[in-house]
Structure 1
Amino acid sequence: MSHSDQDPIAAIATAAGRGGIGVVRVSSRQPLDGLMRELLGRTLTPRHAHYLPFRDAGGTAIDEGIALSFPAPHSYTGEHVLELQGHGGPVVLRRLLARCLQAGRETGMRLAEPGEFTRRAFLNDRMDLAQAEAVADLIDASSEAAARSAAASLTGAFSNEVHGLADRIVHLRMLVEATLDFPEEEIEFLEKYQARETLAVIQSDLARLLSQARQGAILREGLHVVLAGQPNVGKSSLLNALAGFEAAIVTPIAGTTRDKVVQEIAIDGVPLHIVDTAGLRDTEDTVERIGIERTWAEIGKADVIVHLIDATRPGPELDAAITSKLPPRTPVLEVVNKMDLAEPGQVAQQQAEGTKRLYVSARTGEGLDALKQELLAIAGWNPSFESPYLARERHIQALLVTADHLEIAGEHAAQSDRVLDLFAEELRLAHEALTSITGEFSSDDLLGVIFSRFCIGK
């Protein structure tokens, strides 16, 4: 059954599980006076908190709490919104939601889909698409830096930058389009309006925005780091040392780790998803072999592979065999562990085998700070500034496409024949790519993908 953006919707807006307070939210294009009388026995004063019972169809109280009415357009969704704030027990909230759906049946009220409240806020011009995405990013933020940047995006910091660039491209495009109506002036256009200089400044500001957006994307997405190596080289110990607690079981028995262990940590505010995996070796053990297969699958998805080597163990040919099978396009960081146990001769041998290695001791903490900073460097993180907003891969790609079209426009401007219609077309394509970030040019399919990843109550 297809759903319409015209339908009244309702959902539990707080997280699943027990809590002191739970919220049921209703949004409708039509006034909700009838629903209020059914549930509350009265209508509400807009934007005033009312403490009263929430009643079932027979008049018996389901719960009692705070009811708030937000008439359109001054609400989160831009529609008429009713919020019922009661006790946070899951059974009570489900009963209250069912009662809302029952009372609103004649109006076609249905359960909201994931992200549908925020989708309506976007469709009703309460926020643009980048701000709508920032709502989900603020909920999912895994560090203080990510939360600050998501909050900045929600207030429109990123969108304002995009709109500012878009307006300047439109202005330049307007001058070009006007000149196209007067062919005799085409030759003088580029000099008269300093088009090439203006384009160069736009490109420079776009490059700055792209750099900041990449920082924001790192804050949002984090880095998927996979620890790989032979059995018993200290992968689980290194995971525990990075996490600051015992997230993985550590024993001297090779093959202890049979399946992946994932731990999220933050380094300088950047989230890292560290994955401890089964040791790589030939084995007849069925369970361990399955774990090794999963290790290779995890390696295939990594942003960075930390190839861990035991400083006390000879056998570089085994590590070379592992290296030969690693994905060629994924950065690999060779880390020699157990430096606290190694003899001077063993250290010299390891240093001779790899000049670009890091040397650590998961047990003592030696070298861990250098490892963390190297991981950030591989991620492209610039510690000199914190991105003022979060960004997504979708935003990065849109900015790159914009940059490509502006570069082609610049090439047309530099040609002797100066074909202004091609110059204007590249500006149009650049503007379209840029404004797809905020939603002016976005397909319904894209919107469906974006909002489907929100939680239900948002």
Structure 2
Amino acid sequence: MLARHQDPIVAIATAPGRGAVGIVRVSGRGLDALVQAVCGRTLKPREATYLPFRDAQGQAIDQGLALYFPGPHSYTGEDVLELQAHGGPVVLQLLLARCLEAGAATDPATGQPNLRGLRVAQPGEFTERAFLNDKIDLAQAEAIADLIDASTEAAARSASRSLTGAFSAEIHGLRDALIHLRMLVEATLDFPEEEIDFLRKADAHGQLSNLQQTLASVMQRARQGALLREGIKVVIAGQPNAGKSSLLNALAGAELAIVTPIAGTTRDKVQQTIQIEGVPLHIIDTAGLRDSEDEVERIGIARAWDEIAGADAVLFLHDLERADAPEYIAGDADIANAMAQKMPKSIPVIDVWNKLDRAPGAAAAAGENARPGVHLSARTGEGLDGLRRLLLEVAGWQSAPEGLYIARARHVEALQAVGAHLQEAADQLQAQGPALDLLAEELRLAQNALSAITGEFSSDDLLGVIFSSFCIGK
């Protein structure tokens, strides 16, 4: 544990701005003198007390509720004081300053500061203390931030399940089974003449196979949970006046982008997050792709290509009204060739044939030579449901299984590493004259990758990255 983790900390724990209630939170060891200085009395543990919060001269800064949670029975595992005041920014800043002042003041009885080293908390430091003091594991700590940041109801419910330990329980189950198998393998290293028979009798192969099957199930749910948290970035691309802005408006259900018959109206990206079955989709409308002499439009087109290159999926929009026009066909072909050169092949492209209401007879003809896609009318909404289903399919979303938990990209990557190590272990076990020391090492690496998810095996750098994304006061 770093030296800074020993410091008492204080912060405003509610969001910036005005509100009915605001909270100032203090965490550390030995808060009795600070409580007496700010509240003017001792507090009963875990009992809300209505009283004035006093400045150094004994004058009331505000009146509100004070709650005291002695460690280890608190959020952080340390002593915690929460001051719930009126939610004005000035009032909360005065309370924060008063806590810092009272912490630095000298206790007449001891001649020492009331709370040595009290400082303003860094982002996520209260939750980091909870993790370091074994109140929660790392996956649960991340779930707190995910619950706060959830953009859909499904994401919030899944984050709540992770916070209660559903995801961690799955990881611990895998870890325990892996530890049991490691014990069997490492025990045989001391008895080389009996090692193969011993592992055969213990059904090491069957245990490893069961581990791989369980891991596959956990990974499938983790991928779904990561989709709920991260969503996918979908870029709408195509020639000018194909209906890109109209499609964005139709998917979002609001007039976000300006729509005119003038080519080149959209010159910069317009973005909106929507949800389909609880999955966030970050839809980006871009400038029409064409050769242009207009400097501003060229900048917009360059930005469009940047967005396309970084997309999770691209909607290549085509205009059914112009589907038979030679110039339009040539323009679409140029865009398709540029996509093939500038985009990673792993990015899926969905052909969307728009303006079905204006050219209903062109749908079949367009579909004959086009890649699998969808025909729709952004103006009337016909075909939009088919596009939504196709987007979920491209994202890899399946019907949300019961009890789905939130997950992050790093969790999925860690599980993939576990799978790779288990496969290496299986290959060693099936080989003629297996090298059990290599088998044991692969199992150890698999366990380390699992433990990185819950924080049992993690670096300080990783913790710094994770908790720095939290809000101050959490």
TM-score range, shorter chain: over 0.9
1:336 counterpart letter in structure 2: W
Q: Distance in 2 between matches of 1:210 and 1:249?
A: 42
Work out the percentage of aligned pairs sharing the same amino acid: 63
The answer as to 2:355 corresponding to 1:342 is no
Once the two structures are TM-superposed, the CA of residue 84 in structure 1 deviates from its matched residue by 0.7
What SS does structure 1 have at the residue aligned with 2:87?
coil
Runs of 4+ aligned residues of structure 1 deviating over 3 Å after TM superposition are 346-349
The CA deviation at 1:234 is 1.1
Residue correspondence of structure 1 range 299-318 to structure 2 within 5 A: 299-313=308-322, 314=325, 315-318=328-331
2:36: which partner in 1? 37
- Decide which moves more: 446-455 or 318-327: 318-327
Q: What's 1:325 paired with?
A: 338
Superposed displacement of residue 93, structure 1: 1.2
Of 147, 151, 154 in structure 2, the residue corresponding to residue 142 of structure 1 is 151
1:436 has 2:452 as partner: yes
Hey, what does 1:423 align to over in structure 2? 439
Per the alignment, residue 280 of structure 2 pairs with: 271
Mapped contact 2:309–2:344 kept (Cα < 8 A): no
| 1:321-363 superposed Cα distances (whole Å, 9 cap, x missing partner) | 112222132111110111111162x434422331413111011
**Separation (CA, whole Å) in 1 of partners of 2:289 and 2:3:** 50
Count the aligned residue pairs: 455
> How big is the shift at 1:412?
1.1
CA contact (8 A) 1:337 1:359 kept: yes
Is this contact kept in 1: 2:184–2:199, CA < 8 A? no
In 1, Cα distance between the equivalents of 2:305 and 2:89?
A: 41
Q: Give the secondary-structure state (helix, strand or coil) at the position aligned to 1:104.
A: helix
* Aligned equivalent of 2:384: 368
Q: What's the counterpart of residue 87 of structure 1?
A: 86
Does 2:358 align with 1:358?
no
Measure how far apart 1:121 and its partner are: 0.4
Displacement of 1:286 after TM fit? 2.4
* Aligned 8 A contact 1:212 1:387 in 2: no
Secondary structure of residue in 2 paired with 1:371:
helix
Q: Which amino acid aligns with 2:467?
A: F
CA shift, 1:99, in A, is 1.5
- 1:71 — aligned with what? 70
* Letter matched to residue 341 of structure 1: R
Structure 2 distance, partners of 1:398, 1:424, is 19
- State whether residues 161 and 403 of structure 2, in contact with CA within 8 Å, keep that contact through their aligned partners in structure 1: no
2:338 aligned partner, one-letter code: K
Partner of 1:454: 470
Alignment of 1:67-216 (within 5 A): 67-105=66-104, 106=113, 107-216=116-225
Counterparts of 1:257 and 1:34, CA distance in 2: 62
TM-score, structure 1 length as denominator? 0.97
Q: Specify the alignment match of 1:385 in structure 2.
A: 401
| Native 8 Å contact 1:239 1:274 kept in 2 | yes
Unaligned runs of 5+ in 1: none
Q: Deviations over 1:181-233 (max 9, x none)?
A: 12222121221101001110111001100011000000010011111111121
- Cα distance in 1 between the residues matched to 2:277 and 2:429: 44
Q: Deviations over 1:141-184 (max 9, x none)?
A: 11111111100000000001100110111011111212211222
Separation in structure 1 between the aligned mates of residue 133 and residue 154 of structure 2, nearest angstrom:
30
Secondary structure in structure 2 of the residue aligned to 1:67: strand
Give 1:78's aligned amino acid. G
Cα gap change, 1:134/1:351 in structure 2, threshold over 3 Å: closer, same or farther? same
Contact 1:262 1:273 (8 Å CA) reproduced: yes
Q: CA RMSD in A?
A: 1.4
Q: 1:412 aligns with which of 411, 428, 435?
A: 428
**Counterparts of 1:191 and 1:159, CA distance in 2:** 31
1:383 aligned partner, one-letter code: S
1:197-236 to 2 correspondence within 5 Å? 197-236=206-245
Q: 1: distance between equivalents of 2:429 and 2:221?
A: 28
Aligned partner of 2:303 in structure 1 is: 294
Alpha-carbon deviation of 1:424?
Answer: 1.3
- Distance between the aligned counterparts of 1:342 and 1:91, measured in 2? 61
Cα distance in 1 for partners of 2:372, 2:431 equals 46
Q: Secondary structure at the match of 1:363?
A: coil
SS at match of 2:454: coil
Deviation, 1:384, is 5.7
Measure the CA separation in 2 of the matches of 1:170 and 1:328. 40
SS at match of 1:48: coil
Counterpart AA for 1:93: L
In structure 2, distance between residues paired with 1:380 and 1:60: 61
| Whole-angstrom distance in 2 between the partners of 1:296 and 1:3 | 47
Q: Offset at 1:102? A: 1.8
Query: Using the alignment, how far apart are the partners of 2:367 and 2:177 within structure 1?
Result: 55
Equivalent-residue separation in structure 2 for 1:202 and 1:355 (angstroms):
40
